[in-house]
Amino acid sequence: MKKIVFLSSVVALLLSVATACSFVIKTQEEVSKDFLSSAEKISQDLDQIFQYAGTTADKAEIIEINMSHSADDTTDIKNDISAVIIDPADKNLIKRYFWFDNKDMRNSYKTEEVTITDFAGTEVIEGYDKYKDMITTYADFKPYIDNYDTYCQEALKAAGYEGNGYVRYFSYSKERGGSITIGYRGKDVSKSFDIAEDKKHIKK
């Protein structure tokens, strides 16, 4: 098993509110519904991330996709979507490109260099040939987007948090597949569910 380590923040670029990724905070509940509960919004944001990285969804060589949303603090609702991909300019490098939004940095993009080690952290894995078995494509990820609304509905119901539940986290990689986490609003409590192998429903 391999472990991804984020090395250093390289650059942050603030975007104007006129961009496709402009994000307006309304109320806590509306942000939750508009953000990680919206497959269309996620797809649009990923397209912008790939564009920022200098590639497109159909060409990106993806290692991992992560999305998170914090709705517990009404004074600072935090959101981010990231894609760990092979650098289009140098296939021997891996970078994490992500969009994030909080009270200090609105509608921003950021890049981090990434290194991969074995799970023990003792051996650094370098070079495109050694990354190949980890690479997936947007075509592989797309069924998760297509069925994302179903995951949200099923996970919110399975968590049993009633009206206090919200979609807190979603992640995907070739090695682990997909998983979704439901948070309990106002408490540091959550439940996670893996996505079934057919990519149509959560595992129960």
Distances (CA, A) of 155 to 18, 51, 150, 152, 193: 34, 31, 8, 5, 7
Report pLDDT for 21: 31
pLDDT at 57 over 90: yes
Give the long-range contacts of residues 45-48, CB within 8 A, separation 24 or more.
45/21, 45/81, 45/99, 46/81, 46/83, 46/138, 47/20, 48/19, 48/20, 48/21, 48/99
Report pLDDT for 98: 83
Tens digit of each residue's pLDDT (9 = 90 or more) over 61-120: 999 999 887 765 555 677 788 999 999 999 998 898 888 777 777 778 888 888 887 766
Report pLDDT for 163: 84
Where do the domains of the chain lie?
A: 2-138
pTM of the model: 0.77
Q: Which residues are paired to 8 by β-bridges? A: 113
Which residues 6+ apart lie within 8 Å of 33 measured at CB?
Answer: none
Report pLDDT for 198: 94
Sign, CA dihedral 155-40-9-174, equals positive
Residue 74's SS3 state is coil
* 121 vs 22, more confident: 121
Report pLDDT for 102: 72
Tens digit of each residue's pLDDT (9 = 90 or more) over 132-185: 888 999 999 999 989 988 998 899 999 999 888 888 899 999 988 999 999 888
pLDDT at 40 over 90: no
Q: Which residues are paired to 115 by β-bridges? A: 5
Distances (CA, A) of 140 to 3, 6, 50, 93: 21, 24, 16, 22
